[in-house]
Amino acid sequence: MQAVKKGIKAVAEKFEGKQVWYRTFDARTDEYRNLQGGEEEPKEDNPMLGWHGIRRDLDEPELLKAQFQAVKELRDEGVKNVGIMLPFVINAEELKKAKEIAVECGLKPLEEIEFGIMVETPAAVFIIEEFIQEGISFISFGTNDLTQLTLGIDRNNERIQKHFTELHSAVLKQCAFAIQKCKRKGIETSICGQAGSNPEMVKWLVRLGISSVSANIDAVEEIRKVVLQEEKELLKRALERMKNLEE
């Protein structure tokens, strides 16, 4: 727990005054196997679709409690700009159970700490209203997995990489659906993964009204310019519509 706490604190202090979302453990079994003690990890035919994310944390709640406890201790020490983000959720019951564990650790989801989910599966997209009803502060699209699972393409397979694109209309429509549902309820929306560094994807998301974008460090400046230009264009169009109405 202390290692987790130290890592969160280092990032949170760098962004003092701004919100930081801590994503709970999401390493796959094949990734854990390379760590000390990893020989105990089960072998899975498809680790990307296996025992990781919230499904593993709920099966081993002591792991989740340790992470929540680290956040609680940081809050008690005055580091209060840290929210919690749950990865690979597929139903609202997972969110509910995680919130119950957070309460056991002395945290108050939504009341005193932001609590949200990663939207990485079509399942999470199409039941987004159930998550909203259960109570979330934000969502963040994990576009790498969302694209992979929507298109049925292994993103690590070089033979079919040419077919892997987050700009596929099926992926875009899912993002639009979830953003619109969240906007109506005042829930913040964000995006991570390689799509956040794709100017064409970011233009489209800005038009939809996404709250924030996470880009790779080498793409930050370009993406900032894209967002600024697109927001200027949206403002220009809004002013033109207002002018036409007045006339």
Q: Is the pLDDT of residue 212 over 80?
A: yes
Q: Is the pLDDT of residue 246 over 80?
A: no
What is the per-residue pLDDT across 121-151, written as a single tens digit (0 to 9) for each? 999 999 999 999 999 999 999 999 999 999 9
What is the per-residue pLDDT across 16-65, written as a single tens digit (0 to 9) for each? 899 999 999 998 898 888 888 888 899 998 888 999 999 999 999 999 99
Output the pTM of the full model.
0.92
Q: Which amino acid is at 207?
A: R
Within 10 angstroms of residue 25's Cβ, the number of other Cβ atoms is 17
Percent of the chain exceeding pLDDT 70 equals 99
Q: Is the pLDDT of residue 174 over 90?
A: yes
Look-up of token digits 């593993």: 56
Q: Count how many domains the chain has.
A: 1
**Which tokens in the block code for residue 94?**
């997972």
Torsion of CA 145, 149, 151, 155, to 10 degrees: 50
What CATH code is carried by the domain that includes residue 241? 3.20.20.60
Q: Is residue 20 within 8 Å of residue 11, measured between CB atoms?
A: yes
d(CA 151, CA 137): 28
d(CA 175, CA 193): 13
Task: Tell me what pLDDT residue 242 has.
Answer: 79
Provide the residue range defining the domain that includes 34. 2-246
pLDDT band at 247 (very low <50, low <70, confident <90, very high): low
